[in-house]
């Protein structure tokens, strides 16, 4: 049955079959040909897969992110970061990175971050004298912070499948996210000073305070969401609902950027994306049930334990596998399909599930910048009107930095576990 699952899965992927159909059809074929189980069991698993209170947070976080992307919060974030660091050489590039970090903490979406920040920052960087290729590569790559900085939909999915705390996962992503911001920022400043890119800007203290005051409504969003979760005021799912209400109030009554037509577009876009994600989740749950029922993850763990005794070799090989998977499979399916397979191996090698989850998310998020599922590449292509190959070459230096961050998260797990352990 294992060979049937592998061949059917890869064969349908090569035929460009939608990933949800691939997972469901593979499960149905395995049940039909190898198990004495009626197909009605798949329907039951489809229903049970969506019968989870935690999944309510996904459409809410998507809706909040789209509201922010269509509103004025990104504009004020850019002005705030420029006022804070724009006076230094390379300051505008730093402002772009910091804006991506804060907007990611608000929206939780990598493509939304690239759209909202990139449409403002890429032209601004080019006008200030930065190389076009550097500007495109910087913002396209920094947009991947949307996966690592909470709230993050992949973290919610990993918590659902891996039976870990959403709060711990949210906190575990903060330090790796900040480390990556520091690495990206150091590289941006080095390049700006080496090639004398970018004119510096200066703001008076009064003007800076005025900009901070105007942007404070957007900056307060992650504080409200994460503070509410860790203070026990509301659960992560309720925090997602709070983020939607807060975003609507800020964009409607303070920034006055939402119109009925914009709201209709936002609701339509959010409904389509939420439906697609939830359908993939529903189709993946019977596959997870099949793996668990036949104890395939346990068998895989026993096979690996018999052939690999060194934890670091195991982590290295898993990283290679996940990088390859990220090139051919989207991040949602990667987490849903691979997490149950690897979980039994964590106890054998003494790996913390939270640190593993962050490593896995950092790994598969690189797929946003690689062919053929590099969604950020396509988004940047739409913003800049540049060919896809040009965008791909632009992100190459930043891919090397992402690999460095991946190695740090993999082999220095305290980067991920330090903050959750303190707050726990």
Q: Percentage of the chain surpassing pLDDT 70? A: 96
> Within 366-395, where are the H helices?
375-384, 388-394
| Rounded Cα–Cα distance for residues 138 and 398 (Å) | 7
**pLDDT at position 49:** 73
Task: Please identify which residue in the block is written with the tokens 């008076």.
Answer: 204
| Rounded Cα–Cα distance for residues 179 and 172 (Å) | 12
Task: Please identify which residue in the block is written with the tokens 């982590």.
Answer: 315
Tally of CB atoms within 10 A around 119:
17
Q: For residue range 157-187, what is the model confidence (pLDDT) as tens digits? A: 888 888 888 888 988 988 998 899 999 999 9
**pLDDT at position 412:** 92
Least confident interval from 241-245, 301-305, 350-354: 301-305
201 has a pLDDT exceeding 80 = no
| Residue 101 near residue 285 (C-beta atoms within 8 A) | no
Q: Of 93-97, 116-120, 274-278, which one has max mean pLDDT?
A: 93-97
The beta strands (E) that lie in 314-422 are given as none
Number of domain units in the chain: 1
Mean pLDDT, range 420-424, rounded to an integer = 79
Q: Is the peptide bond before 253 cis (omega within 30 degrees of 0)?
A: no
The beta strands (E) that lie in 129-172 are given as none
Helix (H, G, I), strand (E, B) or coil at 173: coil
| Rounded Cα–Cα distance for residues 188 and 185 (Å) | 5
pTM here? 0.80
Tell me which residue range forms the domain holding 88: 2-423
| Residue 122 near residue 382 (C-beta atoms within 8 A) | no
411 has a pLDDT exceeding 90 = yes
- Residue 172's nearest CA partner among 420, 421, 424 is 420
Q: Which two tokens stand for residue 420?
A: 């959750």
Residues 6+ apart with CB under 8 A from 166: 54, 57, 155, 156, 159, 236
| Rounded Cα–Cα distance for residues 377 and 94 (Å) | 21
Task: Please identify which residue in the block is written with the tokens 């957007």.
Answer: 218
Average pLDDT of the chain to the nearest whole number = 83
| Rounded Cα–Cα distance for residues 320 and 306 (Å) | 20
**pLDDT at position 400:** 92
Q: What angle do CA 355, 359, 363 make, to 5 degrees?
A: 170
Backbone phi, psi, residue 90, to 5°: 85, 10
Q: For residue range 203-262, what is the model confidence (pLDDT) as tens digits? A: 677 787 888 888 788 778 777 877 887 777 888 788 888 888 988 888 888 888 888 888
């Amino acid at each position: 049955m294992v060979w049937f699952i592998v061949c059917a899965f890869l064969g349908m992927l090569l035929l460009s079959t939608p990933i949800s159909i691939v997972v469901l059809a593979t499960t149905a074929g395995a049940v039909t040909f190898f198990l004495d189980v009626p197909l009605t069991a798949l329907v039951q698993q489809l229903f049970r897969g969506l019968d989870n209170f935690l999944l309510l947070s996904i459409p809410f976080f998507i809706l909040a992110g789209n509201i922010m992307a269509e509103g004025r919060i990104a504009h004020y974030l850019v002005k705030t970061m420029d006022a804070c660091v724009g006076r230094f050489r390379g300051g505008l590039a730093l402002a772009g990175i910091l804006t991506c970090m804060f907007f990611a903490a608000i929206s939780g979406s990598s493509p939304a971050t690239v759209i909202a920040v990139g449409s403002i920052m890429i032209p601004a960087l080019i006008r200030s004298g930065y190389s076009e290729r550097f500007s495109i590569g910087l913002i396209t790559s920094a947009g991947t912070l949307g996966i690592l900085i909470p709230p993050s939909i992949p973290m919610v999915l990993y918590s659902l499948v891996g039976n870990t705390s959403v709060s711990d996962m949210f906190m575990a992503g903060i330090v790796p996210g900040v480390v990556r911001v520091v690495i990206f920022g150091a590289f941006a400043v080095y390049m700006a000073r080496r090639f004398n890119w970018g004119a510096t800007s200066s703001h008076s203290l009064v003007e800076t305070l005025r900009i901070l005051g105007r942007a404070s409504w957007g900056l307060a969003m992650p504080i409200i969401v994460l503070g509410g979760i860790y203070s026990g005021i509301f659960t992560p799912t309720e925090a997602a609902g709070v983020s939607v209400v807060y975003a609507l109030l800020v964009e409607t009554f303070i920034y006055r950027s939402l119109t009925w037509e914009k709201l209709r577009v936002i609701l339509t876009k959010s409904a389509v994306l939420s439906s697609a994600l939830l359908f993939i989740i529903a189709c993946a749950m019977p596959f997870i049930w099949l793996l668990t029922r036949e104890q395939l993850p346990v068998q895989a763990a026993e096979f690996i334990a018999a052939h690999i005794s060194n934890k670091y070799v195991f982590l290295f090989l898993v990283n290679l596998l996940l990088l390859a998977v990220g090139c051919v499979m989207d991040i949602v399916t990667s987490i849903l399909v691979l997490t149950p397979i690897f979980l039994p191996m964590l106890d054998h090698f003494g790996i913390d599930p939270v640190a593993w989850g962050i490593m896995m998310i950092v790994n598969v998020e690189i797929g946003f910048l690689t062919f053929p599922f590099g969604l950020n590449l396509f988004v940047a292509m739409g913003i800049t009107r540049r060919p896809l190959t040009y965008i791909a070459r632009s992100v190459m230096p930043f891919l090397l930095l992402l690999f460095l961050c991946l190695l740090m998260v993999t082999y220095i797990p305290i980067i991920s576990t330090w903050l959750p352990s303190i707050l726990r």
